[in-house]
Every structure is written in structure tokens, then in C-alpha cells.
Amino acid sequence: MTTRDHDIVLFGATGFTGKLVAEYLARHGGARSVRWAIAGRNEAKLEAVKRDLVAIDPALADLPVLVADGHDQASLDAIVPKTRVVCSTVGPFGVHGRKLAATCARRGTHYCDITGEVPFIRASIDENHDQAVETRARIVHCCGFDSIPSDLGVFILWDHARKLGGSLAWTKGFVGEMSGTASGGTAATMLALVEEATRDPKVRRLLGNPHALDPEVPRGHDRDPFEADVRGVAFDSDIDRWTAPFVMSSINTRIVRRSNALLHYGEPFRYRELMSLPKGPRGFVAACAVTAGMAGFTLSAALPPTRALLARFVLPKAGEGPSKEARDRGHFTLRFVAEGTTGTATPLRVKATVKGTSDPGYGETAKMLGQSCLCLAMDADALEPRYGVLTPASAMGMTLVDRLRREGMTFAVEGD
Ligand SMILES: NC(=O)c1ccc[n+]([C@@H]2O[C@H](COP(=O)([O-])OP(=O)(O)OC[C@H]3O[C@@H](n4cnc5c(N)ncnc54)[C@H](OP(=O)(O)O)[C@@H]3O)[C@@H](O)[C@H]2O)c1
């Protein structure tokens, strides 16, 4: 790998999120010692992105610009073996991303992305895991808001428990105060996923399986109610707040469970994720509104006429997303509560908080993905020798937590 031309190739640098990641790398001192390049399918758009980057840092006048299309195998074969890491923001990943992930697995190139699409990740596990183990590539999906805060939040709880000689049992993640909006690419991806699920019963079954991303997908019907997807409003006495379904828990829970399957957090380990709202009557009304809003959106996205209306009049278009002011106003807080064992008669009770200080899906996602690709490129000696289709926690664990802490994110544990 040391003989490769680039350390990182950012694929999709012309998109809304890709530009933010490029800007993040351009502003980040840590990337100065890294040989990075931007890539995409449209050379003129890439050159315009490069001009903006040179305005941030004139040293980027030499930044290589590479042209490739996610559907053109020859163009991917020309780029992937020449870099140590590919960082991709080209989505919907299920539509444009399969060849790229497979090429990285085949060519022994580390890979990270910001997909939140369960069917794409399942296909990547089935197609690429064994190959990536053989070529010693780390293929790491979900390095954005879905699912780094959930995945690393549970990881730091486990790290705390194992330092006490213990392990985790049941664990809950609560998405609390949050402000942020969606981009055109995210909207297109959500609509594509609902449309695929409406059309294909196999996709519906996969999406409904709480362990869809485990190494082997269990088929049994004796599913644990604790791990069933949350559908309604309830009061949770562990945090003394009202709770409602959280839109991204359908991906975050699957990633946390895959991390457990790879790292063994506890036996049995169980994870559940919800949105939390204040405890009084206003919290109850807000929880009902969130639940109704999610059900309404899913129904509208599932029916072709309302899906077309959503795409045309309501949701942002490709390349659009929240303004810089809106991104700077954004934030999020996740709280975790877990019980486990310490090897003594007293059960372990432990809490954690994960916080971000800008828009979760864009400001913080650019940071999380930017740090993930830097971590894969620069911290090889600090990472566990684990390869294949991994999760952020199982690929980068505490090394990535430390990087994100240095960038202003909070990862805090309190407990026995
Ligand atoms: N996990 C998270 O927290 C998170 C956060 C944000 C976004 N996302 C996901 O990231 C993805 C991108 O979102 P976005 O809003 O940035 O989308 P976007 O602005 O529409 O950008 C899409 C990018 O993909 C490129 N592209 C499309 N088809 C391609 C192909 N065949 N070959 C090469 N490049 C191709 C586009 O190139 P052109 O410029 O040439 O069209 C563009 O650079 C979505 O799937 C979204 O769900 C996830």
C-alpha cells in the first residue's frame, strides 16, 4: 500500500456532502501531510470544486482531479488500486455504489462512506466481506450521522465495562435535543429505499429484521421484543422522558448489533434506540407529533402519486442542502443507558453522552467522514488487525473516538 499514488481519494466531491468533506479536509491541518485527491464523474464540476479548495488553501493547487463513474468498472479499476483509502459520498449507494465497494475489497483498498441503506450494506457484506478479509481491506459503511454517534456511543460504554472486567447486557440509546435538515441526496436515497421496499418483499423482510446486518441473518420468529423497532409513544422510566420512534434507528440499531457480533459486547447483548422528549404534557404531545409525522412520511413515500409530489414540491433537489448558517445552528445529543456485569454480584449501571455542535447530517457528518478517512489512512498501526466489511466501532474504535474528541465532539461515560 505504501507504493500507491494517493492516501485518500474523495469520490463524489461535487455533491452537496462531498463538497463539505472536501472543504473539511482542505481546512484541516491534519490533512496537510496526506496525499489526497478528488474524484467524480464530471471533470468541469471537479475543477470548479478544486478552485474553491485552492481559495481556502493555495497549497492545494496541485490537488489531483480524477474522473470515474460508479457504473464504469474500467474507470474504477484505474483509480482504486492507486489509493490507500476511498472515501465515498456518491449516493444513493444502492444505485451507484456497489461496484466501487466491490473494487475496493478486490484491490485491498480501505473504504469508508456515509450510506444508511440496509439492503446495500447487506449486499456489500455478502459480496465483499470474505474478499476484503483476504486482501486485508477495511470496508466501513455508515461513517456519518448514521451511524457513528450510536455505534461509538455504545462502544465507549463497552470499553468502560470491559476495563472493569465486565460486559454489557441491555443498552438503550436516546436521541434527544437535535436540530438539522436533509439534503437532496438524502431525500432521493430515502425515497429510493421506500420505493424498493414497496416493490420487493425480500427487501421488506430484510428491513424488518433487527439483525439484518449480522454476519448471518437469523430467520427465526422468536424475536426479542426489546429489539423490535419502536413504532409508538411510551414513557421510559430509565430516563424519565417520553419516547417516540427515531427515523434513523432502523439503520443505527443494525450497525450497533453488527458491532456486537464482531466485538462481543456481552451475552446476551441487546440494543434499542428511540427519540426522547421532555417528560411533561408538552413532551407527550411532541412524541405523538413525531410518531404521526414519521408514519405520514412513510405512507406518502410508499404511494407513487404522493411520492412524486414529495420529490417535486416538498423535498430538496440533488446538490441542495442546508445553508452554512443553518448548519452552524445545528446540533445533536444522544444519551445512552446500559446495564451489564462487572464479574461481581453488583450489576453494572452505566451512562454515556455523545454530542455534536453543528448540523448532524452535514457539518458533523463532514467531520465524522473526514476523520474516518484520515484514521484509515494515517492510523493503521493503532488499529486492530481486523478486516472485511466492518462497522466504525469494529474498524476504528477508540482511535476514531479520540480523533472526534479532538475535533470538538463529546464522548463521555459516567457510571460505576
Ligand atoms: N449518513 C449520513 O449521515 C449522511 C449525511 C448526508 C448524506 N448522506 C448520503 O450521502 C449521499 C449523498 O448525498 P448528497 O446530498 O451529497 O447528494 P448529491 O448532492 O446529490 O451528490 C451526489 C454525488 O454523487 C455523484 N454521482 C451520482 N451518480 C454518480 C455516478 N454514477 N458516478 C459517480 N458519481 C456519481 C454526483 O455527481 P454529479 O455532481 O456529477 O452529479 C454527486 O457528486 C446520499 O445517499 C445521502 O443519503 C448520508
Could you tell me if residue 261 is inside a domain? yes
The Å distance, Cα 365 to ligand 1 centre, comes to 13
- Contacting residues for 120 by C-beta, under 8 A, at least 6 apart: 92, 93, 94, 97, 98, 141
The Å distance, Cα 385 to ligand 1 centre, comes to 30
What does the pLDDT read at residue 220? 61
The Å distance, Cα 191 to ligand 1 centre, comes to 14
DSSP string, 5-64: SEEEEEETTTSHHHHHHHHHHHH-GGGTTS-EEEEES-HHHHHHHHHHHHHH-GGGGG--
**Looking at the structure, do residues 159 and 308 belong to the same domain, yes or no?**
yes
Q: Is the CB of 349 under 6 A from ligand 1?
A: no
**Looking at the structure, do residues 185 and 266 belong to the same domain, yes or no?**
yes
Q: Is the CB of 370 under 6 A from ligand 1?
A: no
What does the pLDDT read at residue 222? 61
In 3D space, the residue among 82, 83, 75, 7 whose CA is nearest the CA of residue 42 turns out to be 75
**Looking at the structure, do residues 322 and 367 belong to the same domain, yes or no?**
no
Could you tell me if residue 161 is inside a domain? yes
What does the pLDDT read at residue 254? 97
Task: Report the C-alpha gap between 359 and 326 in whole angstroms.
Answer: 7
Q: Is the CB of 88 under 6 A from ligand 1?
A: no
**Looking at the structure, do residues 321 and 179 belong to the same domain, yes or no?**
yes
Could you tell me if residue 1 is inside a domain? no
Instruction: Give me 343's grid cell.
Output: 464479574
User: What are the residues facing 236 on neighbouring strands?
Assistant: 241
Q: Is the pTM of this model over 0.95?
A: yes
**Looking at the structure, do residues 137 and 156 belong to the same domain, yes or no?**
no
Task: Report the C-alpha gap between 142 and 360 in whole angstroms.
Answer: 13
Total structural domains within the chain: 2
> What's the distance, CA 112 to chain centroid?
9
Please return the burial class of 12, using the count of CB atoms within 10 Å of its CB with bins 0-12, 13-18 and 19+: buried
Q: Is the CB of 120 under 6 A from ligand 1?
A: no
The Å distance, Cα 14 to ligand 1 centre, comes to 8
Alpha helices in 164-200 (DSSP H): 184-199
**Looking at the structure, do residues 277 and 401 belong to the same domain, yes or no?**
no
Q: Is the CB of 94 under 6 A from ligand 1?
A: no
Could you tell me if residue 414 is inside a domain? no
Backbone angle region of 259, left / alpha / beta, with phi > 0 → left and psi within -120 to 50 → alpha? alpha
**Looking at the structure, do residues 90 and 203 belong to the same domain, yes or no?**
no
Q: Is the CB of 265 under 6 A from ligand 1?
A: no
Could you tell me if residue 27 is inside a domain? yes
Read off the CATH number of the domain in which 44 is found: 3.40.50.720
What does the pLDDT read at residue 267? 86
The Å distance, Cα 356 to ligand 1 centre, comes to 22
Of 315, 331, 356, the residue at which a domain comes to its end is 356
Could you tell me if residue 168 is inside a domain? yes
Which DSSP symbol is given to 314?
A: I
**Looking at the structure, do residues 119 and 243 belong to the same domain, yes or no?**
no
Please give the angle made by the CA atoms of 278, 281 and 283, to the nearest 5 degrees: 30
CA atoms within 13 A on the CB side of 186: 23
Task: Report the C-alpha gap between 176 and 283 in whole angstroms.
Answer: 11
Q: Is the CB of 71 under 6 A from ligand 1?
A: yes
**Looking at the structure, do residues 109 and 22 belong to the same domain, yes or no?**
yes
Instruction: Give me 388's grid cell.
Output: 472485511
The answer to whether the bond into 215 is cis (omega within 30° of 0) is: no
Task: Report the C-alpha gap between 361 and 409 in whole angstroms.
Answer: 14
**Looking at the structure, do residues 241 and 331 belong to the same domain, yes or no?**
yes
What does the pLDDT read at residue 375? 98
Pair 66, 39: CB distance under 8 Å:
yes
**Looking at the structure, do residues 114 and 263 belong to the same domain, yes or no?**
no
| Domain extent at residue 235 | 148-356
User: What are the residues facing 111 on neighbouring strands?
Assistant: 86, 139
The Å distance, Cα 21 to ligand 1 centre, comes to 12
Could you tell me if residue 416 is inside a domain? no
- Please provide the distance, in angstroms rounded to a whole number, between the alpha carbons at the two ends of the chain: 43
Atom of ligand 1 at shortest range from CA of 187:
47
**Looking at the structure, do residues 93 and 114 belong to the same domain, yes or no?**
yes
User: What are the residues facing 273 on neighbouring strands?
Assistant: 173
What does the pLDDT read at residue 2? 66
What does the pLDDT read at residue 416? 60
Q: pLDDT by residue for the chain (416 residues), tens digit each?
A: 668 999 999 999 999 999 999 999 999 876 678 999 999 999 999 999 999 999 999 999 999 999 999 999 999 999 999 999 999 999 999 999 999 999 999 999 999 999 999 999 999 999 999 999 999 999 999 999 999 999 999 999 999 999 988 999 999 999 998 899 889 989 999 999 999 999 999 999 999 999 999 998 776 656 788 999 999 999 999 999 999 999 999 999 999 999 999 999 998 899 999 999 999 999 999 999 999 999 999 899 989 999 999 988 889 998 899 999 999 999 999 999 999 988 777 889 999 999 999 999 899 999 999 999 999 999 999 999 999 999 999 999 999 999 999 999 999 998 76
Could you tell me if residue 333 is inside a domain? yes
Ligand 1: which of 90, 249, 358, 372 to mutate, judged by most atoms within 8 Å of the beta carbon? Answer: 90
Q: Atom 15 of ligand 1 has which residue's CA nearest to it? A: 185
In 3D space, the residue among 115, 70, 85, 67 whose CA is nearest the CA of residue 9 turns out to be 85
Pair 193, 94: CB distance under 8 Å:
yes
